[in-house]
Structures are given as C-alpha cells and as structure tokens.
Structure 1
Amino acid sequence: MKQFLALSFIFSASHFASANDNTHTLQLQDIFNLEYANQIDITEDGKTVYFVRNRMDIKTDRKVGNIWSVDYNTEQLQPLTSGVFMDYSPVLSPDGQRLAFISNRDGSNQIYMKWLKTGAVAKISNLTNAPRSITWSPNSKQLVFSMFVPEISSPPVSLPGKPKGASWAEPAKFIDDVYYRADGSGYSQKGFNQLFTLNANGGNAQQLTDDNFDYNGGVSFSKNGESLYFSANRHAEHALKPTNSEVYQLNLSTLEITPLTDRNGPDQQPQVSPNGQYLAYTGYDDKRTNYENTQLYIRDLKTGDTQSLTSDFDRSVGQIKWSANSKGLYFSYADEGQTALAYQPRSGKRKVITEKIGSVAFGRPYSGGDFDISENGDIAFTLADTQRPADVATIKRGSIKRLTDLNSDALQTKQLAKVEELWLKSSHDELPIQAWVAYPPGFDKSKKYPLVLEIHGGPVANYGPHFSAEVQLFAAKGNVVLYMNPRGSDSYGKEFAQTIHHNYPSSDYDDLMTGVDALIDKGFIDESKLFVTGGSGGGVLTAWIVGHTDRFAAAVVAKPVINWISFVLTADFYPFFADYWFPGKPWDHIEHYMKRSPISYVGNVKTPTMLLTGEADYRTPISETEQFYQALKLQGVDTAMVRIPNASHGITSRPSNLMTKVAYIQWWFDKHSK
C-alpha cells in the first residue's frame, strides 16, 4: 500500500496528471497516441514505399510495430501486417515479388515471408535464437542472416552428495568471458553470433561460419552470388580491442574466409556495387581518440586498389547505398544537429541531396533517421521536425513529397512548443555553440518562466531540431527548455568532437552556462527557477554542474557516471571505455580519473539533487547512482533516488517509463520552485 500511495502522489501532486489540466497541450498519457515511421524500403520503380509503423500499446506498455506500404501517386496507406506484435527489418527481394521480415508474433523472433501479389504470409524459420540483419541473395532464392549460437559448457565444479529429490540452493554462476553482461539483454550466455543461410521458401537454416568470433552486421553478395562480404573482428585480441574489425570475403562453396582489409580500425558496411566491380565500405584509422571521422572507401575488386572518397569531408559517413548505375554512392551524415543525405560519385564532387532526414529517436531530440534509393534514383526517407515524429517522404526530381501524416489525429489539436535555433559563443574561448530553445505554448516574452536545461548523452552525440516527447512535455507545463550541443558533440567536425578527448567533463560546462546566461539576458527567465537535468553523459554533466555552481534551484541526474574508476570496472563495454576515454587503466592514472569524476566535487554540492536510473542498467550501472545518492546524504544535501525496476540504460523503451521519468523530474522541480 505504501508503494502504491507514493506512486499515486507523484502523478497527482505533479500538475502533469491534474484533472484540471488543459488538454490542448501535450499530456503524459498522450505518449500512447504517438506513432513514427522507420526502416524504409522503396521498390525499384519508386512507386511504393514499405516501412515499419511504430506505436505505443497502452495495454502491454510496449512499442509495437507493423509493416505498411504507401503508394507514391495516391498516398494510399495499406497494412501488410497487423496485431500487437513487433514486425521489423522488412527487406524486399531483388525480383520485387516478396518481402522478408522478422516478427515476434509466435512468441519468439522468427523470419516471415510476405508474397506481395497474393498477400500470403508465412513463417519460414524455426530458429532457436533471434535472427538479425536479413540479406537476400541476388537470385531471390536465399536469405543470409546472423544468429547467436550458444557454446556448450559446464561449470568447473560440481557438488557431490545431493540426495534424490533434495532442494538445494541455485548453483553458482561461473564467469570467465571478457563480456559477461550487456545492457538491455542482461547476463550473457557463452557463444558467438554466426552467419546462416535459409531457403526463401522455408526449411532448415544452414550455418556458414563456425568459429569463436562474432558476425553481427549485414552482408553483401557478389554479383554472381558465389561469395559474400561481411565485417567482423577476427583478431586474436578481438575482445579487448573491440573496434578493430575488417572486411572479409566468404566463398559459399568452400566456406573459406579471406580478409580484404588489414589496418587498425573499424571497417564496416561492405556493399558490392550493382555491376559487381567495386566494394564500398566505411571506416577509419584508429588513433585511440574519443572520435574520428568515419570515411567512405571503395575497392576495385579486380585490382584491389582502394581509395577514400571522403578524406576531405569533416563529418562522419553514416548509412551508405550504391546508385543503380554503380557510378557513386548515397550516404547520410550528421551536420549541425541535422541528418543530411549526399551523393558521392566515384570520382568528382559530392552533392547534398537533402538536409531533412528526420529523427526516429522519439523521446529526446537526437538526430538520426533512415533512407532508401530506388533503381531510378528516387529517394524515400524519414521526414520529421520539432512538431511531428517521423513520417515517410520521397524525393523525385529534386522535389520533396510527404506521403504520410501519422500523427495528425494525435497532435492536430495540440499546442506544441515552438523550437528556435540559437548560436552562442562560449564564455570559455568564444567557440561557436549551437542550441535550441523550446518555448511553452502561449509564450509571452513579457512574462517570466522557469528554465529547464536538458543535456544530451554520449558524450559524442548530438541533439537537433527534432520531435522530442520529453522536451514537449516539459514545455507543456510552462517551462522554457534549453538544449545544446556543447563541445565534444559530433556533427561539427573532428576538432570540435576531440576537444573533450581525455578532457571530459571540462569546458563543456562553460558552454552550457553560456546558454543559460544568454536566455537569462533575454529577460523572460525567472532566475529563481533554473533547473537542470540530463541522462547518461548528460547525467555526468548535470552531476558536474551541481558540483561547480549552486545557481540551479534543483537538478535531476539520470543514469550517470559519478566515479570514472568504478564505471570502467563495472560497465558492460569496459575494454572500450578504458582504451578510448582515458590515457590508460584506472590504477595507472588514478589522479586523472578522479579529476574528471563528479564524486570528487560532491563536497561542493548544495543544489537539491534527485537521481533516476534503471535497476537493470549495465551501461552506467545503478551503483554509480547509489554512490552519489549516499554521498549527498552524508553531505546533508536534499536528495532522492528513483529506481526504475527492470529498466536498462534505455529507460524510456517502455512508454510508461518515459512518463515516469518526466513526471518525477517535473515533480522534483515543482517541489523546489521558490
């Protein structure tokens, strides 16, 4: 009863759930009405676009997705699948007759086939684990995918003397792998992801690889279908050097594997050109920095000659796709908080196609999105902005056409926050910093408003002018919301991102304070109601901020790192963090680790600070949250800890957890409003 009353208090005491709320602004429960499109696949003639239509199911409290199509000419929407399931990864066959996809509709993730002419749907696999990264063979007869194969092992110790029928304690768990737990999936089973092939008409999957390496990404077939190309880390130290992948060729007759690249650094996304003469892939030379620009390479498969097409491009290449004539590639990239699409010829000047690829992040305003290219060069992509989650759009002959309006029913009567771009010069060194301000509905610049500074994670990531349920919910309750891309964010080039290399947190604090000062100078911010929050890397910076200033009335630190030493020694991906984020191992650089740890400044904290983390978070484990909470208690600082049961680092993957997060943050801010 006590827990029920406490939860009821949060949702009732916060004006988020008040019965007197105006329904013309976004409410917590409206989260279940929102939809967004992703995983785009366009037909070769450009007339039809297939996509996953995602929505939030209020009964199961889960995101569900079904596959839909939209006709370019008529804009007619049609479902290919339906039901409270997760249907995803739709892939059209090369002959355009069938659509393969993955679904959990029978209780486990399996491969399904949709015959587009007849409408028939069938499950064609009976796999023991979830398939990933489906790829069609050129003749449309086979599928290749990856799947986890468990390793048969037994513990080194067995106990004697257990009587028949006796009930003893659960056996001890013996662990000796480098990676033994992963955020979002829990403690790991021994084994590796292997490549398989499956007849497109169904049957038993045949294993193509069988060794102690992981094959996780997509593959690309040679033009004749006799071999395929993939990326993997097959080096002896693959576990401790996780980014050092190469591109390999697998002969499908002999199953012989041949390396095609050999350098220190990731080589990924191999794609054979339609004419079969070239292999494109992405990667960079690893210099053990926090960031390097990912480049686009092409290799002549006959001569082996390889060149980078983007060595002069100060951005990271994202998703890549060949043009049908093999004369160039399309690629996405992040630029100043937006996701753009460019065409890069094999020789010649690249051309920007659009800067409007829309984010599918949904909760917070991260950049991203998806696109696909038809044989005649038509482009399908996700289109979104600050007012709407992702829809489907196309570009034909340079003209953009929106094909869907998935949230017209949910949002057309809502007054949303208007978002304005802002450029600032950091007080630290005049470095240009990009920011966005979300104004509450009905904003009046002659009045005073609370300010919420919301900080992105990463730390090498970026926010932008994208729809954000969390930002909109904060603004709907009368807050001005400021979000920024401080130094260290990507989408501004290598030098900007590397300013925090072995130097995080640092002057990014000054960048954020510059943004707060700039809004105060505009005259509509109530300086007694300054609030700050952020998650993951944003949680780090929030904890850092309260250790360096007491200007904020309250703070909420979400899923943070508080102590870099304990983080590196408890996080799931610890070999990467130790190798790239710091000059060496913790015990060799204790002073460096602690200088950048918020726990070192807890003695300065006066700001009421609440912590919020998922109990199943293995990326920034909840022990980090517990350290700061207990330290604040010892210091006599007003604090509280919100633990989200069964939630991983992606706290808001369940819609009610997104509601919980926002409601608790707003309640804490309301509690400490003067």
Structure 2
Amino acid sequence: MKKWLIACTAVVTLPTFAADNNLQLEDIFNLEYAAQPTIHPDGDEIVFVRQYMDIQTDRKNGNLWTVSRQGELRPLTNGQYHEYAPVWSPKGDKLAFVSDRTGSSQIHLYWRDNGQQAAITRLTGSPSNLSWSPDGRYLAFTQFTPVKQAPPVSLPGKPAGAEWAEPAIYIDKGNYRFDGGGYARDGYQQIYVVPVSGGSARQLTHDEFNHSGQLSWSADGQSIFFSANLRDDAFQNPANSEIYRLSVGSGDIQQITDRNGPDSAPLVSPNGKKIAYVGYDDEKLSYQISRLYVMNSDGSDRQLLTADLDRSVTGVAWAADSDSLFISYDDNGVGQLAEVDLDGDREHLVSKVGGLSYSRPYGGGDFSVSNNGRIAYTQSNPLRPAEIALLDKGKSKLLTQLNEDALAHKSLAQIEEIRYQSSVDGRDLQGWIAYPPGFDKSQSYPLLLEIHGGPHTNYGPRFAAEIQLYAAQGYVVLYTNPRGSTSYGQEFANLIHHNYPSQDYNDLMDGVDAVIDKGFIDEQNLFVTGGSGGGVLTAWIVGHTDRFQAAVVAKPVINWYSFVLTADMYNFFYQYWFPGLPWENMEHYMKRSPISYVGNVTTPTMLLVGADDYRTPVSETEQFYQALKLTGVETAMVRIPGSGHSIYSRPSNLMSKVAYILYWFEQHKHADQ
C-alpha cells in the first residue's frame, strides 16, 4: 500500500496497481511546459517561457529560454521568478518581457548584442499586452490604475488610539468580484506608453472603462489600436466591444468599428494599410463562432475572410508581406494552423497546436511568425506537456524535449481515439480512452468517466496530468466531447443553447456503453467525475441513473437560479445561456438544474470545490452537499483553501483534487475488484 500526502495535512491510503515507474502525485512538481514563443524576425532564434513547478513555494514559475532552429537550448533568464510576455522589437535587437525579479512586476529589456538585461519601469501595477512602436522607441502596455474613492459613510466618535472593527465595504459596481481576482478594486485597466530608453510611463486613457486587450500600433507610430467596451450600457451588453484608435499625442479616441457584437484583438498589417481582428454579429446564442476580418486602417472596406470556416479563430498573425494571415483554431479536438489570403482562400499548414493545459486535456496553443515565414508554435502530445516546434517550408520539427528527464522512464497511459454514434439522433461523437500502464485486454478494469467543463470547450489527444494519474492507478479513463463542445461547428455547440444539459447525458452514456462493448470493463465498477460544466453533468448523471458505483462532483452548478445571482459573470450568463431573468423563467431554470433531481440520487457522491471560487460559487456545492445529507445519501465535501475555479493553478491543489477523487472511488469499489 502506498501513502500519498495531501496538502501537508491529510493522509490518504491508495493501493499500488503497477510498477514504481507509474506516474505518481509528486511527479506533478517535475513537469515543465513551453509557452508564449516569440520567434526572432530573422527566424533563427525562438524565445519562450519555460514554465516549471516550484516545490518550495508551491507555485508555477517561468523563465525565458532560447532555442535555435537546430534545437540548441539556452537560458536567457534564471531564478525563482515569474517571467512572461516576451516580444521582440521590430528590428530584433531587443526583447521586452515582464518579470518580478525586482520585487514587483516590471517591464524588462534584453539587448541581443551584449546580453544585458534591465528593468526599464517602476510601475505600481502589473503590466500586460506589451506592444512595440514601429520605430522601436516605445512600448505600449495596459495596467490596472486604481482610483481613490472615499466611502459614502464615515463613522463619528472614534477616540484616538481606539481599536474598532474594520470599516464596512461599500459596493456599487456591476461586476464586483472576479474568479481568480477576488473583489474588484476601485479603478480600471488603462493604456500607457513608456520610452525604451527608460523613464516614466505616460497614461494615455483616463476614462471609467477597462482597456485590457491586445494593442497594435499604426505604421506611423502616431496611434494605437485597441478593443474595449466603452459604451454606457457595457454592463447590460458585456459582449459588445469595438475597435478604437487612440492618439498617442493627444489621447483622443476614435471608434473604428460599429456593430452589435464583439470586435477584438486588432492587429495592424506590416505595411500599415490593413487591420485584422476577430468577432461576430451577436445573436445572443450560447456559443458563437469568432471569425477573422480585415479592414482598412480607417475602418472602411470590411471583409470577412473565414466565412467558410465553421470553427472559432483563436490566434492571428500577419505575414511579412501583408498579403496573408496565419490563424489557429481547434478542429475535432485538435489545434490547427492555417494561412488565409486576403481573398479568403485558406491553406492548412500543421496540426497538434496546443498543450498548454497540463492538468486536463483542453485546447489552447501559442504561435509566432518570423519575417521569412517560419512559425514557432507550442506542440501538443498526449504523452508530454507543450513543447516548441518549428514549421519551416512546410516541414515541422520538434525543437525542445523539456520533460524527457521526468517522463521518459515513466509508464504512461496510451491514448486512443474512439468514435461512436448518439442514441438520440445518430450524430457522430468523438472521445478518447486512456489505458492504464500494462493494459491487458484479457483482464477486467474499472472505468472512470471524466467530463469536461465549459460547457463550450473541447477535450482532445493532449497531455493531461489528471487523466494520467487516474490511469496510473489502474482505471481505464474515458473522456469525450458531447454536444455543446467546441471544434465541431456552431450548430453542434448550440445544441445545448437554452437547453443545457440537453442530451449530454445520453452522449456520455453512449460513450460508456461503447467502451464497455470492447469487453474489458468491469460493469460493477463504473465511476464518474467532472469539473465545472463537467460537475453539472456529473450531478445530473447521478440524478438520472444508479449505474455508477461512486461520483465526484467538482466545482459544479447545482441550481441555475442561484448560480446566475451569485456568479461573477452574471450579467452575461442570464442573457446568453438562458431565455431571460431567473424569476421570470423559474420553470426553465429549475427543470435544467441538478438540484431538481437530487431526490433520485442513491450514488455515493463527493463534492469538491475551491474555497474562493467565484465562477461556480461555493454555495452551489454546499446546496448539493446539504441536500444529499438530508436525503441520507453517502456524501462528503472537500474544500480547497485559497483556490478559485482553476484548482490546478497551484500544484499541490491539483494533487489534492486527484488524490481525494481516487480516495472516494477506492472506498466504493465493488468488493470483487
């Protein structure tokens, strides 16, 4: 028997299923992954963030490394710091990045000719969205700027030296708290510029709106393009952003786009004539495809370039000649890169872009394009977290192998795609099976169904520590993309529009049956878990079937009515996920709430949630826990202290999540297993 330490306080005993070279909980701290590549303009060198887990501070840190086209790897920075957002200057003689090595997050420069590094700012906040001016003399960035606001009430009569309670906090903001950020401070994200030669940063925007997205300079360096929602009704219409031009000299702002829907991520072409951006015409659907557009720099002659691509564009970069653009998107659970010319003709370039979500097998990848068309990108692999690869003249080459020391000697779960049909409407559905190390199809194995969140996201054949850890303990793990998942088109995603959880239950059970039909699953040992939207579906499942031995419902929504009135993005959810306000549509909300079916639950069900989760607030978890207690169903609740919705953001929290899930399932395995 092997003992695993959880959060330094609780010990859970788990059986060892196979050899010592199976993945263990503590191996989480050995994982690394590559992110945010920026390729030098000449295409010969790539700088990227090498993310690693610091076991002493229980934090994810990152340093900058360089890798050549030949795969030579060198550190650019080092130390226990958080460094990110590297971006080359237009000439490639300098690199800007953000680092906290001086004690706070500041903009740093690296000079390529002599290797010197130094901070060039003395900011009071954390800079983001760095953007070089065309002449390389300035950097634009965004930063939270506090606004002093006195409370409307001050208490009289406090004697000198008296120790009274902390004063009351007055809140009148629409969005007053954010998952991962806590309660909102008074102030806004504003745009700044700072000379590369050092000196004071100058604030360019001063209004009472947030300017927090990508920045792009005009060719003459006189303006900066950005996206924001600067409307007076921004709270009521949270998705209605536009592209704006900001004068660097005067601070004047000119609106460039005007439509009902989000326009974001403006990117000026190298010749300065065009602006690329992504967006859509808002139809208030639960999921809407983000498409690629271009327009003249004055906002005229808008063109849609991806009308025939029924996938959301997630990343954009111009070719050096300004005649085409490179885009990334997910298709059938796999990240893709393509080139699109200004007539909308598209050529696919490479697959397997992604790998940034090392905990669960979600999409998401980064790429960067040089002046000569070489593309550095993060490459996904079901057996490794993200690495850096280079696409050059149609050929892809893997440049880094950051995890060979940690994983090459490990026996990992092999990942196999599975295709099956929906029993509801015959639709083709896609999933993946993770086989435990040493898998023998003549043996019988417990099955663990792991369900993704979102609900508008997708799983795919990508490395996922949680999946690997479950398989390492002898489980066959099934994860799928039921209806509502992205990367299959807008129609498929919107099958759950105003109808979630829709027939996801059927899609998931069909997947379970498809694996059982392979003949190696012990049907008396079926288990289910999922987080966020996956927590919704896990709670829904135990309210509609008793075929699972045990379930773990992680960070769920249990009651859509209370969720909309407590979640951080409540002004978005009620408009896009539901037909209206909860008190005007109570039957609709409650019919789709797992709490409405809690009386049917007999499955032993554990609840798990971050104690500071504001996306699916703790009260959702508590409702289901207390309801199960009242009905006499075996249950337990695990709260992760200090954690928001992204439990895996601290390595030990990821360990705790996995260990408690395995503990619960082990406690409820059928005796014959």
Same fold (TM over 0.5): yes
**What aligned pairs does 1:593-632 form with structure 2 within 5 A after superposition?**
593-632=589-628
Shift of 1:202: 1.6
Indicate if the aligned counterparts of 1:620 and 1:649 stay in contact, CA closer than 8 A: yes
**Partner residue in 2 for 1:237:** 233
**Partner residue in 1 for 2:13:** 13
**Partner residue in 2 for 1:494:** 490
Indicate if the aligned counterparts of 2:84 and 2:99 stay in contact, CA closer than 8 A: yes
**Partner residue in 2 for 1:40:** 37
Shift of 1:116: 1.6
**Partner residue in 2 for 1:30:** 27
Indicate if the aligned counterparts of 1:531 and 1:554 stay in contact, CA closer than 8 A: yes
Aligned letter for 1:277?
A: K
**Partner residue in 1 for 2:149:** 153
**What aligned pairs does 1:348-427 form with structure 2 within 5 A after superposition?**
348-427=344-423
**Partner residue in 1 for 2:90:** 94
Task: Quickly say closer, same or farther: Cα 1:486–1:303, change in 2 above 3 A.
Answer: closer
Deviations 1:499-531 (A, max 9, x none): 000000120110000000111111100011100
**Partner residue in 2 for 1:174:** 170
- Match of 1:629, SS state, is helix
**Partner residue in 2 for 1:519:** 515
Indicate if the aligned counterparts of 1:178 and 1:240 stay in contact, CA closer than 8 A: no
Shift of 1:356: 1.8
Deviations 1:249-281 (A, max 9, x none): 112222211111111100011111111111111
Indicate if the aligned counterparts of 1:10 and 1:667 stay in contact, CA closer than 8 A: no
Shift of 1:301: 2.8
1:186 counterpart = 2:182: yes
Shift of 1:358: 2.6
1:651 counterpart = 2:647: yes
Indicate if the aligned counterparts of 2:6 and 2:652 stay in contact, CA closer than 8 A: no
Indicate if the aligned counterparts of 2:257 and 2:299 stay in contact, CA closer than 8 A: no
1:55 counterpart = 2:52: yes
In structure 2, runs of 5+ residues without a counterpart are none
Aligned letter for 1:626?
A: E
Shift of 1:606: 0.3
1:336 counterpart = 2:332: yes
Aligned letter for 2:497?
A: H
Q: State, as a whole percentage, how many aligned pairs show the same letter.
A: 57
User: After the TM superposition, which of the residue ranges 261-270 and 118-127 deviates more from structure 2?
Assistant: 118-127
Normalising by structure 1, report the TM-score: 0.97
Normalising by structure 2, report the TM-score: 0.98
In structure 1, runs of 5+ residues without a counterpart are none
Shift of 1:24: 1.1
- Match of 1:255, SS state, is coil
- From 551, 558, 572, the equivalent of 1:576 is 572
- From 443, 456, 461, the equivalent of 2:457 is 461
- From 144, 150, 160, the equivalent of 1:164 is 160
Indicate if the aligned counterparts of 2:12 and 2:663 stay in contact, CA closer than 8 A: no
Aligned letter for 1:80?
A: L
Indicate if the aligned counterparts of 2:5 and 2:11 stay in contact, CA closer than 8 A: no
- From 267, 272, 293, the equivalent of 2:268 is 272
Task: Quickly say closer, same or farther: Cα 1:515–1:128, change in 2 above 3 A.
Answer: same
CA distance in 1, matches of 2:414, 2:447: 15
**CA RMSD of the aligned region, Å?**
1.4
Aligned letter for 2:185?
A: Q
Indicate if the aligned counterparts of 2:495 and 2:502 stay in contact, CA closer than 8 A: no
CA distance in 1, matches of 2:49, 2:6: 38
- Match of 2:243, SS state, is strand
- From 50, 53, 68, the equivalent of 1:71 is 68
- From 608, 618, 632, the equivalent of 1:636 is 632
Shift of 1:493: 0.3
CA distance in 2, matches of 1:272, 1:26: 46
CA distance in 1, matches of 2:250, 2:192: 15
Aligned letter for 1:88?
A: Y
Aligned letter for 1:47?
A: D
CA distance in 2, matches of 1:327, 1:449: 55
Shift of 1:455: 0.3
**What aligned pairs does 1:541-552 form with structure 2 within 5 A after superposition?**
541-552=537-548
Shift of 1:23: 2.2
Deviations 1:212-266 (A, max 9, x none): 1110011111111111111010111112211100001112222211111111100
Task: Quickly say closer, same or farther: Cα 1:78–1:507, change in 2 above 3 A.
Answer: same
Aligned letter for 1:472?
A: Q
Aligned letter for 1:177?
A: K
CA distance in 1, matches of 2:9, 2:250: 66
- Match of 1:317, SS state, is coil
Aligned letter for 1:482?
A: L
Indicate if the aligned counterparts of 2:6 and 2:655 stay in contact, CA closer than 8 A: no
- Match of 2:541, SS state, is helix
CA distance in 2, matches of 1:8, 1:646: 15
1:260 counterpart = 2:250: no
Shift of 1:8: 7.5
CA distance in 1, matches of 2:460, 2:452: 10
CA distance in 1, matches of 2:245, 2:293: 16
Indicate if the aligned counterparts of 2:6 and 2:659 stay in contact, CA closer than 8 A: no
Deviations 1:381-410 (A, max 9, x none): 011210111111101111111111000110
CA distance in 1, matches of 2:206, 2:72: 46
Task: Quickly say closer, same or farther: Cα 1:8–1:171, change in 2 above 3 A.
Answer: closer
Length, aligned pairs only = 667
Aligned letter for 1:69?
A: T
Aligned letter for 1:44?
A: P
Aligned letter for 2:197?
A: N
CA distance in 2, matches of 1:596, 1:430: 23
Deviations 1:65-101 (A, max 9, x none): 000000113x211111101111100011111111111
- From 205, 221, 226, the equivalent of 2:222 is 226
Task: Quickly say closer, same or farther: Cα 1:9–1:192, change in 2 above 3 A.
Answer: closer
User: After the TM superposition, which of the residue ranges 474-483 and 273-282 deviates more from structure 2?
Assistant: 273-282
Indicate if the aligned counterparts of 2:555 and 2:610 stay in contact, CA closer than 8 A: yes
Task: Quickly say closer, same or farther: Cα 1:237–1:302, change in 2 above 3 A.
Answer: closer
**Partner residue in 1 for 2:205:** 209
CA distance in 2, matches of 1:297, 1:141: 29
**Partner residue in 2 for 1:537:** 533
Indicate if the aligned counterparts of 1:438 and 1:471 stay in contact, CA closer than 8 A: yes
1:327 counterpart = 2:323: yes
Task: Quickly say closer, same or farther: Cα 1:348–1:284, change in 2 above 3 A.
Answer: closer
Indicate if the aligned counterparts of 1:144 and 1:197 stay in contact, CA closer than 8 A: yes
- Match of 1:526, SS state, is strand
Indicate if the aligned counterparts of 1:11 and 1:663 stay in contact, CA closer than 8 A: no
1:428 counterpart = 2:420: no
**Which stretches of structure 1, 4 residues or longer, exceed 3 Å deviation after superposition?**
4-12
Task: Quickly say closer, same or farther: Cα 1:373–1:221, change in 2 above 3 A.
Answer: same
- Match of 1:100, SS state, is strand
- Match of 2:265, SS state, is strand
Shift of 1:9: 8.9
Deviations 1:128-149 (A, max 9, x none): 1111111010111100001111
- From 509, 513, 533, the equivalent of 2:505 is 509
CA distance in 2, matches of 1:213, 1:550: 50
CA distance in 2, matches of 1:218, 1:668: 44
Shift of 1:348: 5.0
Indicate if the aligned counterparts of 1:10 and 1:664 stay in contact, CA closer than 8 A: no
**Partner residue in 2 for 1:485:** 481
Indicate if the aligned counterparts of 1:433 and 1:486 stay in contact, CA closer than 8 A: yes
Indicate if the aligned counterparts of 2:422 and 2:428 stay in contact, CA closer than 8 A: yes
Deviations 1:30-62 (A, max 9, x none): 011110001010011111011000010111100
Aligned letter for 2:243?
A: V
- From 471, 475, 481, the equivalent of 1:475 is 471
Deviations 1:420-442 (A, max 9, x none): 00111011111111100000011
